[in-house]
Structure 1
Amino acid sequence: MFTLPASGRIRSTALPAAAAVVVVSLLAATPQVAAHTGQKLVTCTVSTTPGRPITLDPPVSMTARRITARATLALTHCTSPNGAHARLRSGWLTAHGTGLGSCTNVDDISATGRITWYDADKRPAGTSVIKPDHSAIEAARSVKSYNPGDMLLGGKVTKGRLAGASVAGSAIPTSDITTCTTTGIAAVTGTGKISFIA
């Protein structure tokens, strides 16, 4: 699977660059005027679920080509460190993106994401729209040595619950990605953490 820890970085396993297309879509955002305090509003575990990997079409390989990536990720064990958003306990994050990608590089990324939130009783608790952060767009649009968590660092919530919050996380795949340079990769799974920061 692929992890999104709050630290925003992975120190070991790298994911194929084109998978960044989805990750960007999860955390992308438009510029916000509000200043950020660095206070964590909500932190969740995020993961792919059985039968729902991140899909990459066509499969990522050593040859750069236009890739479409899609993901539906589960957000669980959500907590609000300051208590302001304690109602947000879980959610589903759907994302879609495109990029010119290979096993080691992704350029020209375009993406969007949406979270549907639920409370402790599994009742709907609102939605959040996530789009690319234009202040970080250049770094996100061209990644030479891809660490998927790094792609999560430039996002903002542009609409709905947690509007204006930055999004931070990083990713570690749990599926076999060594086939990228041979047969290619059409799907990736993972698990980790994601944070929404004021």
Structure 2
Amino acid sequence: MHMAWIIVVAAAAAPQTPAPHAPAALACHAATPAGDPLTFSPSVGLTPRRVTARGHLELTGCVSPDGTATALSSGWVAVKATALASCTSTRQVRGSAVITWFGLDGRPVGTSKLRVRADGLAVQRPADSLLTGSVTAGPLAGERVSGGVTPATPLLVCATQGMTGLPGSGRVTFG
């Protein structure tokens, strides 16, 4: 995996009632919206520095561990976090995210709040450390969150030109 990463945070959303029959575990495809990559300030470069990331992720194709459809079929994630980051590593990740969940009919069914926290140095798959944390409220409350997004930006481009944005896709697992 080329280095680039995702940091997740969002503004607080009004609490909502959990979705009926919310699953105990869930796996979703995650991707940045077309033309709307996660952004980094300052840019990620060769040398580690404190960086803030913001943006959105679309969650689609959400299924239970056995591959069956669930009450939470898709979601929209608003993210913001900070980390000590470079093109090849991340650590001291702190952030939060808010997921607005949608049912099979495309209607909103609830909102989850996430706390993102990764303390250890991640060098093999640094993007994954930025999707590590737990659901603190709403559907799937108490579940662990893990996953990663494979960046479209090659490591060499990040190291030579820096990276201010990250388009990419991957998988996120709850539970």
Same fold (TM over 0.5): yes
Structure 1: how far apart are the matches of 2:98 and 2:80? 9
Instruction: Pick closer, same or farther for the CA change 1:180–1:107 going to 2, 3 Å.
Output: same
Query: Which of 79, 86, 94 does residue 110 from structure 1 map onto?
Result: 94
Aligned counterpart, 2:133: 155
CA RMSD of aligned residues (A): 2.7
Alignment of 1:29-68 (within 5 A): 41-68=25-52
1:101-145 deviation line (CA, Å, top 9, x unaligned): 22233343221111100112211110111113xxxx5xx234252
Q: Which amino acid aligns with 1:110?
A: R
Find the counterpart in structure 2 of residue 96 from structure 1: 80
Matches within 5 A, 1:114-129: 114-129=98-113
The code of the aligned residue for 1:15 comes to: M
Worse-matched range after superposition: 68-77 or 102-111: 102-111
Count of residue pairs brought into register by the alignment: 163
CA contact (8 A) 1:177 1:185 kept: no
Task: Please tell me whether the aligned partners of residues 75 and 102 of structure 2 are also in contact (alpha carbons under 8 angstroms).
Answer: yes
* 8 Å CA contact retained: 2:44, 2:164: yes
For residues 108-187 of structure 1, what are the structure 2 equivalents within 5 Å?
108-132=92-116, 140-143=118-121, 145-151=123-129, 154-187=132-165
Residue ranges of structure 2 left out of the alignment (5+ in a row): 11-22
Normalized per residue, the structure richer in helix is 1
Q: 2:3 aligns with which of 10, 15, 40?
A: 15
- What is the distance in 2 between the residues matched to 1:96 and 1:142? 19
Task: Determine what percentage of the aligned residue pairs are the same residue.
Answer: 37
Q: What does the per-residue CA deviation read over 1:73-93, in whole Å, with 9 as the maximum and x for residues that have no partner?
A: 000111234799821111101
1:79 to 63, 73, 94: 63
2:132 and 2:52 map into 1 onto residues whose CA distance is 20
Task: Give the distance between the partners of 2:84 and 2:130, measured in 1 at CA.
Answer: 18
Question: In structure 2, do the counterparts of structure 1 residues 185 and 147 end up closer, same or farther at CA, with 3 Å as the change threshold?
Answer: same
C-alpha contact 2:27 2:62 (8 A) present in aligned 1: yes
The answer on whether the counterparts of 1:105 and 1:142 sit within 8 Å (CA) in structure 2 is no
Unaligned 5+ segments in structure 1 are 1-12, 27-38
Whether contact under 8 Å (1:73, 1:92) holds in the other structure is: yes
User: How far apart are the structure 1 equivalents of 2:32 and 2:93?
Assistant: 21
Alignment match, 1:6: none
